[in-house]
Structure 1
Amino acid sequence: MDDAVDALVERYQELAPDCLRVAVRYEGDEHAVAFARDDVVEMYSPEEFDAKVKQLVVEGLADQPNQEQFRLYGEMNVVVRRFDNAVMVHFPRDEFAGVAVTFDRDAGPSLDTLADVGIDVLSTDDTDQ
């Protein structure tokens, strides 16, 4: 999944230069920051930044791809949360694994484009395995 996350970061940097804030991949209790914009990191102490990343992971773990109550809709591919100052996009990959990406609120592409690009890039990784 690391290669797919790197490809996703690269694609988002092409689509929304300077708007990508943080990209994190997570699996179970482990996570890794694939990208963090310097000014975003500098906003926090190292402990605070780590706590923010962990909160992204917790939010992602709550969004499982297969949710029994929505089984008629199929598997969930993406969750978008829009805040006053940022957009959070989660791509659940497996029961306890996924990718979380944050953008400045005024990112150039539409939310649909951000979601579709992520699904396309990450689904390419699925077919390569």
Structure 2
Amino acid sequence: MSENSSEALTEFLKEQVGRHLRSVIFYDDTGGEVIYVRDDVADEYTDEDVSEVVQDVRLEAVDKPHQESLYVHGPLECTLRLFGDAVELHFPHDETSGTAVALDGEVFPMHNTFVEQCLDAMGE
């Protein structure tokens, strides 16, 4: 995978979720590149914040083979993090590269239904 695949994903997400796309970052072993960031989101993060996010997802990508060896589920294609206001998707392409996507939380109706019901069941 390459930065071009992240750019193609960005265009797809713009069509699918429109203004709910917060950001797309491509990273590899040489660094990270912000492919897209919505204006209001750009105001919330410094360059240092972006570097820390890149470092975090890069570390997760290094663990991709280990994760795949633990579970008999096939290749690890994406990790998903649900926050109160946003959804983070991480697509590790291999051990050194990937794409991180942030969406507004309302894009995932499941976030406000099934996951929320699970949290309620746990008393969270």
Which structure 2 residues correspond to residues 1-129 of structure 1 after superposition, within 5 A? Answer: 1-58=2-59, 60-61=60-61, 64=64, 67-70=68-71, 72-107=72-107
Q: Does 1 or 2 have the higher relative contact order (CA < 8 Å, sep 6+)? A: 1
In structure 1, distance between residues paired with 2:21 and 2:81? 15
- For this pair of structures, how many residues does the alignment match? 109
SS at match of 1:7: helix
Cα deviation per residue 1:13-56 (whole Å; 9 max; x = unaligned)?
Answer: 11111111111111125111111111101123443444445444
- The answer for unaligned runs of 5 or more in structure 1 is 112-129
- When normalised by structure 2's length, the TM-score is 0.73
Q: How big is the alpha-carbon RMSD for the aligned residues of Structure 1 and Structure 2? A: 2.4
CA contact (8 A) 1:89 1:100 kept: yes
CA contact (8 A) 1:31 1:57 kept: no
- The answer for unaligned runs of 5 or more in structure 2 is 112-124
TM superposition shift of 1:2: 1.8
- Describe the shift of the 1:61–1:15 C-alpha distance in structure 2 as closer, same or farther (beyond 3 A): same
CA contact (8 A) 2:82 2:105 kept: yes
Show structure 1 runs of 4+ deviating over 4 A. Answer: 108-111
Q: Percent identity?
A: 29
Amino acid at match of 2:29: G
- Describe the shift of the 1:77–1:8 C-alpha distance in structure 2 as closer, same or farther (beyond 3 A): same
SS at match of 2:18: coil
Larger radius of gyration: 2
